[in-house]
Amino acid sequence: MGVATYIKDEKDAIEEVILQSGIKVKPAYTPEDLERVGFEYHKDLGDPGEFPFTRSLHPLGYRSRNWTTRQYTGFGTPEETNERFKLMISHGQTGLNVAFDLPTQMGYDSDDPMAEGEVGRVGMAVDSLRDFEIAFKDIKLNRIGAGLTINAVASVMLAMYESMAEKFGYKKTEISATPQNDILKEIVGRGAWIYPVEPAVRLIGDTIEYAMKELPRCNPVSVAGYHIRESGCTPAQEISYAFMIAFAYIDNVVARGYKAEDFVGRFSFNLNVYGNLWETVAKFRAARKLWAQLLRERYGVQDKKALFLRGIFGGGGSGMTKQQPENNIVRGAYYALAAALSGAQTTALCSFDEAYTIPTERAALISLRTFQILMDEMGLRDTIDPLGGSYFIETLTKEMGEKILEEMEKIEKMGGMVEAVASGYVQREVARQAYEFEKKLQQGKVTKVGVNKYTEGADMEVELHEYNEEWAQLQIERLQDLKKTRDNKAVKESLKALEKAAEVQENVMPYLLDCCKCYATVGEMANVFRDVFGEFREPNIF
């Protein structure tokens, strides 16, 4: 998905262009269009670094600070992950983006029957603090930030990260971690959910509350419209669903008696760069503006920095094709360009082999080089918001803003995102969009080079990242050894205390820290929550 619909005449001349969000593009734009949409420089854009931040969060943009690049890394054992971290850092990567295997994401230990065949497959396996101590060994945790791609048990992993950093002698005030910690989008689009919606959202509230008080450099939530877009929604829906999800988390914490102003500046977003170039740029500009405006209106947030739409704008994996895989290197370069033209603070790319597997070392490096070429050779750091003022882009930015608000209104009418997800509305809508798009692709109404046009017959096989069965064995042995050598009485007591806190709805974070520090396992902690909260059941959407 991602490409617009083109209606053409028999001579291949384009008669109509309809962007995925449903906006028609004209053949040319003039000052009259700006008048038609009511464009005003100070109201709609503001100077770079000024409300509503349409152009840039910072007054000097990339001049004062290059973007951060964060390739998704992590596989197999913690030892292997540690090596890959160091390799990427030595090549100039400036942040870590940690991939966990599915058992870890789902709160199962490596020796659980549910984990069979999956240990270390799509990310690193983490059973206990011992694994984190290995994975982050010799990484300067006060210098480099880590994105932790985990959601259902993000609270556990944040506690694990803090415990590990403390063990290595860092102060909790100097470490920077961003757990993804967005369970609503998991339910809509990525599927790594465990608990029912309400307690799951409460766990996120716990991490936000805790980080606000104890971890000044941690961003406790990264709201990931990215995955909902990957699942099939339109660019406008991506932003509106992400915002509605963010509001659900804000409301949970506000209900505890805090002011949004005091914590919302720590929210970050993970958004998708993929599809039509202009729609993408307009989407991000509109999103930055709307986020600032809505936070002011809904929650009375005044602090400038709390109004920033921070985050990672990353190249979408579903744009990558397994046909003619080298083309994905070119696609990645255009996605990176779109991200830079959109003023992304942090970026990442899916590597060219990602349609098949997690990235090989070479492929991950090519992605990193793509960013470096753009910023160091092509002049993307020269000036801020270079498309700003274009009749077309400014008109489109206004129109995207309206589309986003329209979609938000639909969710609002259902009572908010928690309700819209619990009832299955959002999942149904996303699946419908994905199906409609796939049909258009198969009918040739949208073009994907190498897939439904300019095909080359036989597909070439890409180099696969090997899965090593021994990883599971090593991981299970380490876990069994751990269970023999740790203080099992302390583990039992800490888990009991955690259970009690979960039952009375006390903030669980301090209890998770106690569990992590005495080497309780991820599975043991996750199971405490399973017992207390139960498990989510998917609504039928067919």
Partner 1 sequence: MGERKTRVLVGKPGLDGHDRGAKVVALALKDAGMEVIYTGLHQTVPSIVKQALQEAVDVIGLSIMSGAHIPISRKLMDMMKEEGIVNVIVIVGGVIPNKDIPLLKELGIDGVFPGGSPFEEIIQFIQQSVRE
Contact positions vs partner 1 (CB under 8 A): 102-103, 105-106, 108, 114-115, 117-118, 121-122, 186, 189-193, 230-232, 318, 321-323, 355-357, 431-432, 434-435, 438-439, 442, 451, 459, 461, 464, 467, 538, 540-542
- Which of 439, 453 has the CB closer to partner 1? 439
Interatomic CA distance for residues 366 and 61, integer angstroms: 25
- Residues near 278 by Cβ (< 8 Å), separated by ≥ 6? 19, 25, 392, 393, 396
- Which of 66, 321 has the CB closer to partner 1? 321
**Spatial contact of 412 and 420, defined as CB atoms under 8 Å apart:** no
Rounded to the nearest whole angstrom, what is the least distance from the CB of residue 193 to partner 1 in the complex? 7
- Which of 155, 323 has the CB closer to partner 1? 323
**Spatial contact of 211 and 158, defined as CB atoms under 8 Å apart:** yes
Rounded to the nearest whole angstrom, what is the least distance from the CB of residue 252 to partner 1 in the complex? 23
Rounded to the nearest whole angstrom, what is the least distance from the CB of residue 33 to partner 1 in the complex? 35
- Which of 95, 120 has the CB closer to partner 1? 120
- Which of 428, 486 has the CB closer to partner 1? 428
- Which of 293, 324 has the CB closer to partner 1? 324
Interatomic CA distance for residues 454 and 164, integer angstroms: 51
**Spatial contact of 281 and 385, defined as CB atoms under 8 Å apart:** no
Interatomic CA distance for residues 158 and 266, integer angstroms: 15
Cβ atoms within 10 Å, residue 376: 13
Rounded to the nearest whole angstrom, what is the least distance from the CB of residue 450 to partner 1 in the complex? 11
Rounded to the nearest whole angstrom, what is the least distance from the CB of residue 271 to partner 1 in the complex? 18
Cα 249 to chain centroid, rounded:
16
Pairing of strands 5-8, 346-348: unpaired
Give residue 250's identity as a one-letter amino acid code.
Answer: I
Please provide residue 299's backbone torsions phi and psi, each rounded to the nearest 5 degrees. Answer: -120, 5
How far, CA to CA in Å, does 238 sit from each of 227, 242, 340, 533? Answer: 9, 6, 19, 29
Rounded to the nearest whole angstrom, what is the least distance from the CB of residue 192 to partner 1 in the complex? 5
- Which of 108, 308 has the CB closer to partner 1? 108
Rounded to the nearest whole angstrom, what is the least distance from the CB of residue 74 to partner 1 in the complex? 15
Beta bridge partners, 222, equal 268
Rounded to the nearest whole angstrom, what is the least distance from the CB of residue 38 to partner 1 in the complex? 37
Q: Which helix (H) or strand (E) holds 45?
A: none
Q: Which helix (H) or strand (E) holds 537?
A: none
Rounded to the nearest whole angstrom, what is the least distance from the CB of residue 114 to partner 1 in the complex? 7
Interatomic CA distance for residues 297 and 311, integer angstroms: 21
- Residues near 134 by Cβ (< 8 Å), separated by ≥ 6? 77, 78, 79, 82
- Which of 230, 407 has the CB closer to partner 1? 230
> SS3 for 223?
strand
- Which of 387, 476 has the CB closer to partner 1? 476
Rounded to the nearest whole angstrom, what is the least distance from the CB of residue 467 to partner 1 in the complex? 6
Looking at residue 454, what DSSP letter applies? S
**Spatial contact of 432 and 237, defined as CB atoms under 8 Å apart:** no
Rounded to the nearest whole angstrom, what is the least distance from the CB of residue 91 to partner 1 in the complex? 26
- Which of 451, 482 has the CB closer to partner 1? 451
Q: Give the strands of the sheet with 68-69, arranged side by side.
A: 68-69, 346-348, 310-315, 267-273, 221-223
Cβ atoms within 10 Å, residue 497: 17
- Which of 84, 285 has the CB closer to partner 1? 84
